[in-house]
Amino acid sequence: MSRRTHFGALPCPAPQGQRASAWRRSYDVADPRAQVATTCWQASDGKAGAFKFFDVLRKAIWRYSDHVREAGKPQPICANAMRVFEALVSHMDFTTGRCDPALDTITATCRLSRRTVVRQLEVLRRQRIVDWVRRTVPTGNAPGEGPQRKQTSNAYFIDLARVPVEILRYLRQKLGDRLREPATQRTGSGPVPTRMAGKAGRLIAGFAATVATSLGQERTDRRRLAYASPEERFAHMYRGNPDGLRQHLELVELFSSPSASANLALYPSIRTKG
C-alpha cells in the first residue's frame, strides 16, 4: 500500500501499520497562515478580469523566461512548466482566488508524470511565479493511537510582491488600474525535503564533523610534537610501522657516530706509517 504524497515528496511506501506524519511548516486548513487565497484582479471585473489577468501573465512569463535565458541554454521556464501553471489556473476559483488541487489532479490535468509535475512546480516556485503552503487535516485517531494530523493538498497562490520585477512591470503596463496588488507579502512553506535529501544532509553533517574532529586532533598533535623528543617524533612519523621506525633509528645511530675519516682528522697521531 503506497502512501499518498503531496508536492515536493516523491512517492514512497509507508511502513505497514503506520501512517505518515505531517511535514514541517504545514498548517491546519483553518489556520490563518494557510489562508493564502487572493485575487490579483479587481473583483468588480468578475471572471473577465481573471481571464484578462492570466492572459497577460502568460505573455509576461514567456517574455521573462526569454529575457533571463543564458546563451546556449534552454529557457528556465519551459513548456512543461507552463503546462503545470495552466493546470493550476484551470483549478482556481476566480471569485476567491482559491487554488488547492491535489498532486494527482494536477498530474491528470496536464498529462505529465508525477515526477515531472513535481520538478516543474519547483521551477515555478524558484522563479517566483507560484508559491504554496502545505496544509494538514485531522486524522481522527484517538490520542496516543497514531498521528493526529495528516497531509492534504497544498494551497497555491501568486504573490505579486515577490514576482520578478520584469513580470510585474509588464502587468502594470498592460492592466493599469485593473491590477490589484497586495499590501503585504505572503510566505510559502518552501520545498519539502525528500528522504534522499535528508540522508544527504545527515551524511554531509557527519562528514563535516569528522573533518572538524580530525583537524582538531591534527592541531593538538602538532603542538605536542613541537616540544617532543626526537624519539617521540620518529614514533609519530612511523605510526603503525614498527619495522620502518627500527630501521630509521638504526640509520640515525649509524650516522651519529664518528666515521673513520673523522677520527683520523681529529686524531692525526693514530695514522700508521707505511
Between β-strands 149-151 and 131-138, what pairing exists: parallel, antiparallel or unpaired?
antiparallel
Domain residue spans of the chain = 26-191, 201-258
The number of helices, as runs of H, and strands, as runs of E, in the chain is 9, 4
Cβ-contact 26, 135 below 8 angstroms: yes
Q: Cβ distance 181 to 170 under 8 Å?
A: no
Instruction: Pick 91 or 259 by higher pLDDT.
Output: 91
Hey, what's the cell of 27? 498548517
Separation of alpha carbons 100 and 132, rounded Å: 9
Per-residue pLDDT band for 243 (boundaries 50, 70, 90) equals confident
Predicted confidence at residue 140, as pLDDT, reads: 85
Task: Decide: 139 and 160 in contact? Cβ < 8 Å.
Answer: no
Higher local confidence (pLDDT), 216 or 160: 160
Contacts of 181 (CB under 8 A, 6+ apart): 40, 160, 161
Predicted confidence at residue 125, as pLDDT, reads 94
Structure-model confidence comparison of residues 273 and 250, the more confident one: 250
More confident residue, 71 or 260: 71
Q: What is the pLDDT of residues 14-72, one digit of tens each?
A: 443 333 567 778 889 999 999 999 889 887 777 889 999 999 999 999 999 999 998 88
User: Looking at 95-189, which runs of residues are DSSP E strands?
Assistant: 131-138, 149-151, 155-157
Over residues 78-94, the mean pLDDT reads 95
Strands 149-151, 26-28: pairing kind? unpaired
Question: pLDDT-derived band of residue 236, with 50, 70 and 90 as boundaries?
Answer: confident
Give the dihedral sign, CA 9/90/171/72: positive
The answer to whether 236 and 218 have CB atoms below 8 angstroms apart is no
Q: What is the pLDDT confidence band of residue 196, given thresholds at 50, 70 and 90?
A: low
Nearest to 40 by CA among 99, 124, 86: 99
CA distance 110 to 104: 10
State yes or no: pLDDT of 268 exceeds 50.
yes
The whole-chain average pLDDT of the chain stands at 80
Task: Kindly report the pTM of this predicted structure.
Answer: 0.62
**pLDDT at residue 46, as a whole number:** 75
**pLDDT for position 244:** 76
* C-alpha 206: how far from chain center: 17
What would the pLDDT profile of 134-152 be if each residue is shown by its tens digit? 999 998 888 888 888 888 9
Tell which wins on pLDDT, 242 or 258: 242
CATH (one of 1.10.1660, 2.60.40, 1.25.40, 1.10.10) for 26-191: 1.10.10
Q: Which amino acid is at 93?
A: D
What percent of the chain has a predicted confidence (pLDDT) above 70? Answer: 77
pLDDT value of residue 148: 85
Strand duo 131-138 + 26-28: pairing:
parallel
Greater confidence, 34 or 241?
A: 34
User: What pLDDT score was predicted for residue 186?
Assistant: 65
d(CA 17, CA 4): 15
Q: Please report the pLDDT score of residue 62 as a whole number.
A: 95
Cβ count near 246 (within 10 Å): 12
Place of cell 516543474: 120
pLDDT band at 167 (very low <50, low <70, confident <90, very high): very high
Gap between the Cα atoms of 94 and 196, Å rounded = 38
pLDDT at 80: 95
**Angle ∠(33,2,109) on CA atoms, nearest 5:** 65
